[in-house]
């Protein structure tokens, strides 16, 4: 690069070759069509997706909360012997005091059919 202005001039020339002052004819029509497609629904009062989801949540949330509360109260009322309130609230079963091993859980200590025969 000999002189910055020479470089700039050549670059300007090269980039200028592909530069256009306008887009292809009918650009305003195409842009307006895209704009129309995107905003026609909104202009008619249809809510956007996020607003629709928010509205749905506001409607459903109180019922969901009330149902969860009723279920929890019911669980606490009918809690079993030795079941803590926290476990009853979430509907978890009471834990038995008998220690368990993996062999018992997976039934590994039970005799197989072939052994029985």
Partner 1 sequence: MNRRLSRLTCVSLPDPSDLELLRRAAAGDEPAFRTLVERHETAVARVVTAMLGPGDDADDVGQETFVRLFRAKTDFRGDAQLRTYLTRIAVNLSCDVLERRKKQSGWLRLTGSDDDGDVRLASSDRADSVEDADRNETLHQAVESLDAKHRAVVVLRILEDRSTRDTAALLGVPEGTVMSRLTRALARLKVTLGPEFP
Q: Which is nearer to partner 1, 37 or 102 (CB)?
A: 37
Residue 88's Cβ-count burial label (10 Å; 0-12, 13-18, 19+) is buried
Report the nearest approach of partner 1 to the CB of residue 58 (Å).
23
Report the nearest approach of partner 1 to the CB of residue 112 (Å).
56
Would you give the distance in Å from CA 4 to the centre of its chain? 53
Would you give the distance in Å from CA 101 to the centre of its chain? 39
Report the nearest approach of partner 1 to the CB of residue 15 (Å).
5
In the Cβ-directed half-sphere of 15, how many Cα atoms lie within 13 Å? Answer: 6
Report the nearest approach of partner 1 to the CB of residue 107 (Å).
54
Cβ proximity of 59 and 66 under 8 Å: no
Q: Which is nearer to partner 1, 41 or 91 (CB)?
A: 41
**By the criterion CB under 8 A, which residues form the site for partner 1?**
1-2, 4, 6-8, 10-24, 27-28, 30-32, 34-36, 38-39, 43
Q: Which is nearer to partner 1, 22 or 78 (CB)?
A: 22
Q: Which is nearer to partner 1, 22 or 77 (CB)?
A: 22
Residue 112's Cβ-count burial label (10 Å; 0-12, 13-18, 19+) is exposed
């Amino acid at each position: 690069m000999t002189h910055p202005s020479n470089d700039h001039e050549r670059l300007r020339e090269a980039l200028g070759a592909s530069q256009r002052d306008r887009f292809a004819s009918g650009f305003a029509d195409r842009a307006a069509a895209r704009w129309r497609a995107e905003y026609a629904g909104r202009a008619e009062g249809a809510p956007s997706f996020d607003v629709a989801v928010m509205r749905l949540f506001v409607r459903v949330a109180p019922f969901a909360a009330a149902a969860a509360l009723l279920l929890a109260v019911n669980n606490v009322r009918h809690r079993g012997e030795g079941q803590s309130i926290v476990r009853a609230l979430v509907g978890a079963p009471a834990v038995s005091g008998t220690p368990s091993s993996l062999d018992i859980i997976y039934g590994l200590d039970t005799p197989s059919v072939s052994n029985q025969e």
